[in-house]
């Protein structure tokens, strides 16, 4: 009987310590996890209010592949994933409060069609060619060219979806010097797959133009795609030609001619 009270007190103390240790786990509430692969898409998250609150949001923290990422506390936000490489594994963990549940709005973009594979990809003077297996019908291939430091869609081809390898070809419009291309396969679910980047060096002479002080027309050394930007970078004219009519441009202003993968300035008299 003499030892009963201390034992009883020790048991109570252990019970209280256990409760204290468990309490933080209970307060942490839930986790929303998504595992997949990166296919060129960022993460779109819906962040509701916590319970009946109209000021306190649900999400506490966001982790991408084990590293915490900053996010803006509002009803919806984007987590950029462009630091990842195509087909890198992705594990998204969203820690949220109890009594609410956030949503990943584009979870299908991280799913993987394990059957799909680019088999070949080549660039020549006459054609860009590629083949792929495991594709689905009525999806889209985009031919992309690296122009003026950004990737532009220059062509679109619908996928055939036949069993085995499907072959494709696209006629490019190379600029002078080194050209960079890639093919993007885009499924209707939002999944995106890219080829590696291919380079092709064209022996075409660089496109030149005159005059630099323009009254009515710009003359190019050969027919080429062009774009004219105003001083704020807004496109005001584009097309393909050897002579570019500039009569509708405002006089007394500097404009920029984008041609042959470079940008040149001119003055409109």
What digits encode the pLDDT tens for the residues 17-61?
A: 443 343 443 344 689 988 888 888 899 999 999 988 888 999 999
CA 32, 189, 183, 144: dihedral to nearest 10 degrees?
A: -90
Which pLDDT score, from 0 to 100, does residue 26 have? 38
Q: Counting Cβ atoms within 10 Å, is residue 39 exposed (0-12), middle (13-18) or buried (19+)?
A: buried
Domains of the chain: 4-110 (no CATH), 117-202 (2.60.40.10), 209-268 (2.60.40)
Residue 141 has pLDDT above 60, yes or no: yes
239 three-class SS: strand
Query: Is residue 217 within 8 Å of 246, Cβ to Cβ?
Result: yes
- Residue 30: phi and psi, rounded to 5, are -110, 170
Q: Output the pTM of the full model.
A: 0.63
Across 35-44, 88-97, 157-166, the highest mean pLDDT is recorded for: 157-166
DSSP state of 266: E
CA distance 236 to 249: 8
Residue 1 has pLDDT above 80, yes or no: no
Which pLDDT score, from 0 to 100, does residue 20 have? 39
DSSP state of 175: P
What digits encode the pLDDT tens for the residues 182-219?
A: 999 998 877 788 999 999 999 999 999 999 999 999 99
Residue 13 has pLDDT above 50, yes or no: no
Distance (Å) of CA 204 to CA 207, 220, 245, 259: 9, 14, 24, 13
CA distance 176 to 206: 5
Per-residue confidence band for 14, with pLDDT thresholds at 50, 70 and 90? low
Which pLDDT score, from 0 to 100, does residue 29 have? 65
Residue 5 has pLDDT above 60, yes or no: no
Across all residues in the chain, what is the average pLDDT? 88
What percent of the chain lies above the pLDDT cut of 70? 89
| Contacts of 239-248 spanning 24+ positions with Cβ under 8 A | 243/217, 243/218, 243/219, 244/217, 244/218, 244/219, 244/220, 245/216, 245/217, 246/214, 246/215, 246/216, 246/217, 246/218, 247/216
CA distance 236 to 221: 22
Which pLDDT score, from 0 to 100, does residue 24 have? 40
Residue 9 has pLDDT above 90, yes or no: no
90 vs 182 pLDDT, higher one: 182
Residue 2 has pLDDT above 50, yes or no: no
Residue 125 has pLDDT above 60, yes or no: yes
What digits encode the pLDDT tens for the residues 214-254?
A: 999 999 999 999 999 999 999 999 999 999 999 999 999 99
Per-residue confidence band for 133, with pLDDT thresholds at 50, 70 and 90? very high
Which pLDDT score, from 0 to 100, does residue 25 have? 37
CA distance 256 to 21: 66
CA distance 79 to 228: 34
Give the residues across from 178 on adjacent strands: 201
CA 221, 226, 231, 233: dihedral to nearest 10 degrees?
A: -150
DSSP one-letter string for 110-163: G---TT-EEEEEEE-SS-EEEEEES--TT-EEEEEEEETTEEEEEEEEE----S
Which pLDDT score, from 0 to 100, does residue 85 have? 85
């Amino acid at each position: 009987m003499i030892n009963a009270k201390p034992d009883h007190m020790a048991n109570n103390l252990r019970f209280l310590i256990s409760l204290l240790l468990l309490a933080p786990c209970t307060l942490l509430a839930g986790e929303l996890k998504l595992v997949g692969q990166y296919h060129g898409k960022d993460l779109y998250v819906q962040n509701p209010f916590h319970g009946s609150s109209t000021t306190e949001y649900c999400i506490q923290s966001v982790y991408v592949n084990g590293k915490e990422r900053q996010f803006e506390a509002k009803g919806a936000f984007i987590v950029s994933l462009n630091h990842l490489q195509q087909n890198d594994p992705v594990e998204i963990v969203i820690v949220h409060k109890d009594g609410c549940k956030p949503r990943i709005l584009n979870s299908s973009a991280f799913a993987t069609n394990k059957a799909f594979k680019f088999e070949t990809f080549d660039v020549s003077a006459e054609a860009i060619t590629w083949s792929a297996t495991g594709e689905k019908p009525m999806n889209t291939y985009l031919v992309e060219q690296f122009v003026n430091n950004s990737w532009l869609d220059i062509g679109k081809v619908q996928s055939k979806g036949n069993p085995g390898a499907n072959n494709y070809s696209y006629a490019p419009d190379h600029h002078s010097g080194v050209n960079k291309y890639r093919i993007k396969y885009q499924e209707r679910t939002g999944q995106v797959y890219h080829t590696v980047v291919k380079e092709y060096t064209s022996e075409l002479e660089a496109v030149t133009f005159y005059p630099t002080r323009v009254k009515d027309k710009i003359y190019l050394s050969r027919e080429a795609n062009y774009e004219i930007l105003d001083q704020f970078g807004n496109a005001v004219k584009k097309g393909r030609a050897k002579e570019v009519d500039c009569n509708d441009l405002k006089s007394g202003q500097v404009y920029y001619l984008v041609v042959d993968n470079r940008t040149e300035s001119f003055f409109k008299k």
